[in-house]
Structure 1
Amino acid sequence: MSLLDHLSEHHLLVKYTTKNEMEEETRDEGNIRKEDQCNTVKGLKKNWQKWANNHSEYQKHNPFSNNRTVTVQFQKGEEGYGRPREGSRTQQRGHSAHAHLEKEVDELCMIIKSIGEAGGDGQTRVAFGPLFERYVPISNKLVGVLLRARKHGRISFEGEMLWQRRDDDVIITLLE
């Protein structure tokens, strides 16, 4: 008895609670062509081989693999240097992280609008201290999000870094 037969027998014992359920599925299985049943095993083998070939091709370009073949190396300034391969999981993770950070920056700007005061020039301003008190219960990454928002030109403040208590009076201006 093969392992597949054994598993099928065990599956039948576990799956069916009544004889009627078993007879219904047997009738349904009668509609499946013999070629389709054989193709599933062939399809598994084909898919496995395809995955293995793709993986070995990927490993040729992976600098951390034990494969000692010559890998493609980009030179500084060349297209693709410092970037993940197109369509890779690393690229997907990067895109999702970027989207997540953009949402955090949007949320920060919304909070600045809600607690800030509009100036004569129409821009909203808030001191770092009150913003810190309001934002920290939401997220503990306020300074990092502030730096990212400034990098993308959405806010402005004096100095390179903001520290709690020391910089509580520094004014943060919303540029949107």
Structure 2
Amino acid sequence: MNVDHEVSELVKYIKKLGSKNAEGKYSVKYGVLFNDDEVANVFEALVGTLKAAKKRGIVTFQGEILLQRVHDNVDVILLKDE
């Protein structure tokens, strides 16, 4: 899969697993995203896809990289609906 396709898949899963926050943007906890079976089957490297999406301004989250357990309660927020 190419990066553009993976990022568009990520957007789909954030909308599916998340909910709209006070600003009307979709938000999902990293732990929810990471622990979803479907997400695990689609993405070889979820962290890499999240980093690429953040660099493109499509999502935002606190910190540079997200790690399982340590960052399970960090919100991944969808900025652009690609």
**1:140 match: secondary structure:** coil
Confirm or deny that 1:133 pairs with 2:35: yes
Matches within 5 A, 1:144-159: 144-159=48-63
1 CA distance for matches of 2:13 and 2:57? 17
Structure 1 consecutive aligned stretches of length 4 or more whose deviation exceeds 4 Å: none
2:71 corresponds, among 160, 163, 167, to 167
Structure with the largest fraction of helix: 1
Query: TM-score, length-normalised on structure 1?
Result: 0.43
**1:136 match: secondary structure:** helix
2 CA distance for matches of 1:147 and 1:130? 17
Maintained 8 Å contact 2:6/2:43: no
**1:129 match: secondary structure:** helix
Q: CA deviation at 1:120?
A: 1.9
Amino acid at match of 1:175: L
**1:125 match: secondary structure:** strand
1 CA distance for matches of 2:44 and 2:73? 19
The worse-fitting range, judged by mean Cα deviation, of 132-141 and 160-169 is: 132-141
Bigger radius of gyration: 1
**2:77 match: secondary structure:** strand
Corresponding position of 1:111: 13
1 CA distance for matches of 2:44 and 2:3? 13
Say what the alpha-carbon RMSD is for the aligned residues.
1.2
Amino acid at match of 1:109: V
Gapped runs of 5+ residues in structure 1? Answer: 1-96
Amino acid at match of 1:164: Q
Corresponding position of 1:58: none
Q: CA deviation at 1:140?
A: 2.4
Matches within 5 A, 1:71-86: none
Query: TM-score, length-normalised on structure 2?
Result: 0.89
Matches within 5 A, 1:53-68: none
Q: How many residues align?
A: 78
